[in-house]
Chain A
Amino acid sequence: MSELLTLTAAQAAERVRTGELEPGELWEAYQRRAAADELNAYTWVADAPGDVDRSGPLGGVPVAVKDLFCTKGVPSQAGSRILEDYRPPYTATSIEKLHVAGAPLLGKTNQDEFAMGSSTEHSAYGPTLNPWDTGRVPGGSSGGSAAAVAAGSAPWAIGTDTGGSIRQPAALCGIVGLKPTYGAVSRYGMIAFASSLDQCGPFTRDVTDAAVLLRALAGKDPCDSTSVGLPGPVELPSRTDLQGLRIGVPEELSGDGVEPGVLAAFNETLDRARELGATVEPCRLPHAPHALSAYYLIAPAEASSNLARYDGVRYGFRAPGVRDLLHMYTETREQGFGAEVKRRIMLGTYALSSGYYDAYYGRAQQVRTMIARDFATAFERFDLVATPTAPTVAFELGAKTADPLSMYLQDFLAVPMSLAGLPGISIPCGLSEGLPVGFQLAGPAFSENAILDAAHALERSIDFRDAPWRSA
């Protein structure tokens, strides 16, 4: 039984395919673990796998899904009171694809409210705890999905990454997290935070599982005009060395602002890459230091508009005892939204307002273009770039909630890729003070196969053994 729980999803799916493993047994084992979760990783756990054809490529391996994905008839609350017990009449395209491919829904996972945060402490449903140390955060905003996979209460999970919300929690929880190229996966049914940045991606135990999920997720969706899919099939990674691979290490994203223990693990991994045959050299992304500022104008601006629909008129929470329209709007949103969401709505509204648009939103979009160009230039000389995923290891609950800016800084290594729409993966590469450190590889648009392959080779060499799911 416990051996079953230490299989990777691909291994479990293979055993289901060969008949060695009953999908029902797999389901029950994980359902039990999820229902017994003490990390507050889940906001809802399924009783039954539902009508899913478990003979598909995902082999009946159940998947945990971040709460902001619309799942028909099942609470989809995006970590917010304003959507408490909201049950959508439809399922997100990406999740529908997983069901069709044979993965039943295990449960919905906790998150920072409307995906705004880097610790899952901004959930209206309480924080999620890091299985490595329950006094610490799992990262965010997809903290629930990351914690569930790290703790072994889900074999794999889905999250979203707008400014690092898959990669950073993956790093803080010592698992694999992938943000695909913007447009590779449909956003239809993903409760929106920042439309030009949001992307759906997998949390997994290893790189191969990430490839398996990406294959099921990717594709152009007629319901999402910004989706393009991937130009070719996702290949299962097979590389065992990095011969001929040129890795650039941006100076701006590999020194200042990163804590020493993280930097040490990162540099060791760079040495490993060299041993595997990669060329590893510094490179420059001159506008990367401005990425965080640009992000914290663009994302809240889009969010201020995306979240306008939560007004008590049609669905979700409506404040009781209101006397007129304006009162209903203000009371509903005052009571329904948490502090971080309100902060970003105000910031975003300001950035778009008359007289300020050009100086803030307009300028931020120009900086975004410069960052994209920086990457394009770097990719003329390099195949991939490498950075630490997060500047710190998992921090203590409450350590950064008093200072929003200190929380925002968690994302400064991930945000440049988000702004440029580029794919990035985080793999666990070592420990610092007993806590996991993440290693990020990013590449040009649609280079997922190259990224997965390189990550796979590195992962083999690193042989990270410490994750809690291994001793589930």
Chain B
Amino acid sequence: MTTWEPVIGLEIHVQLDTRTKMFCGCALSFGEPPNTRTCPVCLGLPGTLPVVNAQAVQYALMMGLALGSEIAPRSIFHRKNYFYPDQAKNYQISQYDIPICLGGHLGDVRLHRIHLEEDAAKLVHLGESGRIHGADASIVDYNRGGTPLCEIVTEPDLHSAEQARDWLNLLRVTLRQLGVSDVNMEEGSLRCDANVSVRPAGSTELGTKTELKNMNSFRFLERGVNAEIERQVALLESGEPVVQETLHFDPSSGRLSSLRSKEEAHDYRYFPEPDLVALVPTEEMLAAARSAIPELPAERAARYESEHGLIADAARLLAFEPAWGDYFERVVAAGADGRAAANWTEQLRARIGAEAEPSVDPAALAKLVGLVGGKQLNAGGARQVLDILVAEGGDPEAIAEREGLGAMEGGDELAGIVAAAIAANEGAAEKVRAGNDKAMGPIVGFVMRETKGRADGGEVGRLIREQLGA
């Protein structure tokens, strides 16, 4: 039986977070009434001409530099000609064979290219299904038309739907950190199509690929890609060939349907855009782009692992959410040990939610970490102190004292309670004496209840073993 290896490449469109559109001065639209963010240029009125948005160029340069691409010393725009009502001029201004960025990589995935282009307008089909088939009429909202887009094309370096999903997320947090886009799939500022093929494991040839469209969430991307891999494998295993085609993902059924019926071989008749001159990034532009690039998530995660000794998962969590990463670093700067600071930052995040502003003073959290480290507080007590810090702020030491949450010292008091616990749990005590350490549970529980959780678990265990001679 053949083992099949999926081969996946992604084509991603990112809406850039510029103030105005790619080729005109209209402000970008966020849910405004239809056709209120338009002008003669983005409506394609007779006689109008495009002018390149410098901020969009800078964002593209930042992306290319951050992702290790080669920046073209001279790139040009091309016209991509096709008739459709969401394209006001019936051509899209894009880039073709001389894009602004070539190559690059992010994580394990190589990039093929990055280029600039303008977004299409939004078509609404008026009918029951909202789809074009069976619609009585269609209307167009040109607010979105002309929004700047960066198209990123990867090499086919992904080999599973999960990997594709994870990588897309890495791209998303990286672009977020760069500040070039909201990269929100639900809102449409991040869009992803996938090219999928399969081949026998170990083969180096590529199978026929299909293009998957309309997966507008991470979950749908994963489902769609998996569905297509299954479909292709089933075809090939029954001796059928895979046909190159475009497939549309239906979120309600999770199924893919062929767009072949409306598929016309598109000849886009690309030619260089005669209304625009070549893009030649100057040294100043490149320097400005370079200096605008902050520390990116992958680098930051690596730094947390090496500098603060965090484990990979913890490093990733904090690095991928810059607000929390920044907070963590402030807690460390206030004197806390790296790993413990990460742990307690995560505890805070779990309490108030990832989207919330870290609300506890970093110095206070650092102090809490110190109290736990110095065994003045055990974990249970510290959690209760943290709850109070979240609710009202304050000084951890004072709170612990006030609420009586301080760790119980070892010594006679504790030894006495342990003795009482042993006496109350003869059965368990026997088992422990006999060598079954795990039977200690009820005795520990008794001690914890008596001490209201303040006893140090390790010390309790030690005392139990000591008293039982185990």
**What is A's interface to B at a CB cutoff of 8 Å?**
68-70, 76, 78, 83, 86, 88-90, 92, 187-192, 194-196, 222-226, 301-302, 304-305, 308-311, 313-315, 325, 329, 349, 352-354, 357, 361
Contact = CB atoms under 8 A, between A and B. Distances in A.
B85 A90 contact: no
A188 B48 contact: yes
Contact of A225 (B51, B83, B138): B51
Given A195-B275, A314-B88, A352-B269, A305 B81 contact: yes
Contacts of B271: 301-302, 305, 352, 357, 361
Interface stretch (B37-45, B62-70, B313-321): B37-45
A310 B276 CA distance: 21
Most buried by A among B138, B267, B271: B271
A314 B44 contact: yes
Given A70-B46, A89-B40, A188-B48, 18 more contacts: A70-B47, A189-B48, A195-B274, A196-B274, A224-B275, A225-B49, A225-B51, A226-B276, A226-B277, A305-B271, A308-B81, A308-B89, A309-B46, A353-B267, A353-B269, A357-B270, A357-B271, A361-B271
A315 B45 contact: yes
Nearest to B273: A195
B46 A187 contact: no
B269 A192 contact: no
B90 A308 contact: yes
B91 A308 contact: yes
Contact of A354 (B83, B138, B267): B267
Interface residues of B, number: 29
Q: What 6 pairs across the A-B complex have the smallest Cβ distances?
A: A308-B90, A195-B274, A352-B269, A196-B274, A191-B46, A189-B47
B91 A88 contact: no
B106 interface: no
B269 A354 contact: yes
Given A223-B49, A305-B91, A311 B43 contact: no
21 contacts: A76-B46, A88-B40, A88-B46, A188-B47, A189-B48, A195-B274, A196-B274, A224-B51, A225-B275, A225-B277, A226-B277, A304-B81, A305-B81, A308-B81, A308-B91, A311-B90, A314-B43, A325-B85, A349-B269, A352-B81, A357-B271
A88 B275 contact: no
B140 interface: yes
Nearest to B266: A354
Does more than half of chain B's interface fall in helix, strand or loop, or is it mixed? loop
Nearest to A348: B269
Contact of A226 (B81, B138, B275): B275
A80 to B, nearest CB: 10
Interface in B235-289: 267, 269-271, 274-277
A312 to B, nearest CB: 10
Most buried by A among B43, B48, B270: B48
B52 interface: yes
A88 B47 contact: yes
B47 A309 contact: no
A360 B79 CA distance: 17
B461 interface: no
Nearest to A89: B40
Contact of B274 (A302, A315, A329): A302
A339 to B, nearest CB: 21
Contacts of B47: 68-70, 76, 88, 92, 188-192
B98 to A, nearest CB: 14
B83 A308 contact: yes
A66 to B, nearest CB: 12
A196 to B, nearest CB: 4
Contacts of B44: 309, 314
Interface string B65-99: 00000000000000101010100111100000000
B309 interface: no
Contacts of B40: 88-90
A325 to B, nearest CB: 7
Given A305-B91, A305-B269, A308-B83, A88 B274 contact: no
A88 B46 CA distance: 8
Contacts of B267: 353-354
A82 B222 CA distance: 48
B380 interface: no
Contacts of B269: 304-305, 349, 352-354, 357
B45 to A, nearest CB: 7
Nearest to B132: A325
B156 to A, nearest CB: 24
A302 B81 CA distance: 11
B43 A223 contact: no
Contact of B46 (A86, A223, A304, A329): A86
B310 to A, nearest CB: 50
Most buried by A among B49, B50, B52, B276: B49
B227 to A, nearest CB: 31
Most buried by B among A83, A310, A313: A313
A103 B207 CA distance: 68
A25 B271 CA distance: 51
A411 to B, nearest CB: 19
A198 to B, nearest CB: 10
Contacts of B270: 352, 357
A187 B274 CA distance: 12
Interface string B2-38: 0000000000000000000000000000000000000
B275 A313 contact: no
A419 B274 CA distance: 13
A464 B370 CA distance: 101
Nearest to A355: B267
Contacts of A69: 47
A428 B137 CA distance: 57
A67 to B, nearest CB: 11
Contacts of A302: 271, 274
A191 B44 CA distance: 11
Most buried by A among B43, B51, B83, B140: B83
A190 B40 CA distance: 13
Most buried by A among B40, B45, B85, B89: B45
Given A226-B275, A352-B269, A361-B271, A83 B90 contact: no
A225 B52 contact: yes
A225 B22 CA distance: 14
A357 B78 CA distance: 14
A195 B93 CA distance: 14
Contacts of A226: 49, 274-277
Contacts of A308: 81, 83, 89-91
Most buried by A among B44, B89, B140, B269: B269
A304 B274 CA distance: 13
A225 B45 contact: no
A351 to B, nearest CB: 9
A357 to B, nearest CB: 7
A313 B47 CA distance: 17
Nearest to A90: B40
Contacts of A88: 40, 45-47
Contacts of B79: 305
B141 to A, nearest CB: 12
Nearest to A362: B271
Contacts of A191: 46-47
Contacts of A196: 274
Contacts of A190: 47
